[in-house]
Amino acid sequence: MFDLDFLKTCTAGFGRMTDEAQDVLRQTVSLAQKPDGLFPDRSGHGDLYYTLFGLCLAYISGATVDRKVCARTIEQSAPADLVHRAALAHSRNLLKLMSLPHIAQNLPFSAPKLDFPDLPDAAFPQGDRCSPYSCFLRNDTATDLSAYRLPDGLYSNLKGASEYGVAATAAALCLHPDETTATALAGLQNPDGTFPGGDLLSTAVSLYALHRTGHKANYDVCDFLSGCFRPTGLFAAVPADPFGDLEYTVYGLLAMGATA
């Protein structure tokens, strides 16, 4: 949900970087934009999903990007799945926000509530338009998620399943703040600061969900984040991954801001 709180949290994370790291990240983001205005995925191909993260980083860091070319290109896209439809909607919002004369932290900006009745079920994550993650992408706080809730307060990706999902729980907690769920999610954190999965995505979204509901992490995550940071100013998914990318860099800043 790329709303003001999300952007402010990422901006707080960016503020914790050294001046040198900030400058390197700005340059990397600016150079990453392709001639058609899109930003690349890990294979180097322009992608609407990664463009959302590129624009997010440009907004946060103040990196120079060509907004007009980007806007023209994304408006020519016709994504057929929820993830890319949501990326298009949030990219439009970010481009509007970036067109303002100054990056202000108190702008009346909120994530749009998205509804795509024309999309078939197969176009949604897990083929389920009502799953916690699908609802999170659509910023849908009205859907009842009780069918995905486990007795301990964690959430599953699938209705009636007995196994929790970290991202599903974080998404549900952001949409429906609940003390039991927050306590259960916090209890999943490993001593090294990571959450089950051991990667930056699961860790960042969990920390953000806890932060959003006013809860603190049980363990420090700084060493893990340092291990994911790369000389390009980007973050990698795990310390063992030699390459950073735009998506995981947003997660890195999100985690840093959520634990500031």
What does the pLDDT read at residue 101? 63
Does the structure show a pLDDT above 50 at 23?
yes
What does the pLDDT read at residue 120? 95
pLDDT band at residue 105 using 50, 70 and 90 as cut-offs: very low
Does the structure show a pLDDT above 80 at 111?
no
Higher per-residue confidence, 170 vs 3: 170
Does the structure show a pLDDT above 70 at 122?
yes
pTM for this predicted structure? 0.95
Task: Of 109, 100, 88, 84, give the one whose Cα is nearest residue 6.
Answer: 109
- For 194-212, what is the mean pLDDT? 97
Task: Of 202, 52, 216, give the one whose Cα is nearest residue 133.
Answer: 202
- For 191-207, what is the mean pLDDT? 97
What does the pLDDT read at residue 89? 94
What does the pLDDT read at residue 97? 87
pLDDT above 90 covers a percentage of the chain that reads 88
